[in-house]
């Protein structure tokens, strides 16, 4: 098989980008940052990073690529990471972007699951988590506040309230 007849999936599409393609590490880090910034949705962060910050695509190219991802099975942002990474760096780029998108949240959830498995039966922790969940539901559902702000306020308030109630019961 000659170089010209290689499958298109093996060769990145360089027509849509300007300048040298980002390294695999740059793709991984960019998508890892997106995944860590986007509680409940990464699309806004992905567009900002890809179009505005790194200028790896134009807004039209991003929209066209994202529209394609709607037709593929699975979550659109996961599809976008694979398609985008593959356009810039071939299959390795797709894997780097995909891994960057999914690895950090997976590691965080795994660590939290281990902590919960170890300490989930502690009554104080159960009460703290119950308080946080009630506050979060109210603040997110009724007031439509962003999740990060709710967690930054709800966790310390819940821990403090539990501490004060424990002191009251012990006294």
Nearest to 158 by CA among 138, 77, 42, 9: 138
Q: What pLDDT is stored for residue 163 in this prediction?
A: 80
Nearest to 98 by CA among 80, 74, 121, 111: 80
d(CA 103, CA 166): 38
Nearest to 25 by CA among 82, 85, 65: 85
Q: What pLDDT is stored for residue 20 in this prediction?
A: 87
Q: What pLDDT is stored for residue 167 in this prediction?
A: 80
71 three-class SS: helix
Cβ pair 51, 96 in contact under 8 A: no
Per the structure block, which two tokens stand in for 46?
A: 């992905």
* Average confidence (pLDDT) per 10 residues, the chain, 171 residues: 43 57 95 84 90 94 93 92 95 97 94 89 84 78 77 80 78 70
């Amino acid at each position: 098989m000659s170089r010209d007849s290689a499958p298109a999936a093996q060769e990145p599409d360089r027509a849509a980008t300007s300048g040298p393609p980002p390294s695999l590490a740059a793709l991984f880090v960019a998508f890892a940052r997106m995944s860590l910034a986007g509680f409940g949705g990464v699309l806004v962060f992905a567009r900002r990073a890809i179009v505005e910050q790194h200028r790896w695509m134009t807004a039209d190219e991003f929209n066209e690529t994202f529209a394609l991802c709607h037709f593929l099975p699975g979550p659109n942002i996961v599809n976008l990471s694979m398609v985008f990474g593959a356009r810039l760096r071939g299959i390795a780029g797709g894997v780097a972007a995909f891994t960057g998108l999914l690895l950090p949240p997976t590691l965080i959830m795994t660590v939290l699951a281990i902590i919960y498995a170890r300490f989930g039966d502690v009554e104080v922790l159960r009460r703290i988590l119950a308080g946080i969940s009630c506050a979060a539901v109210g603040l997110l559902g009724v007031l439509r506040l962003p999740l990060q702000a709710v967690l930054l306020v709800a966790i310390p308030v819940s821990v403090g309230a539990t501490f004060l109630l424990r002191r009251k019961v012990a006294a």
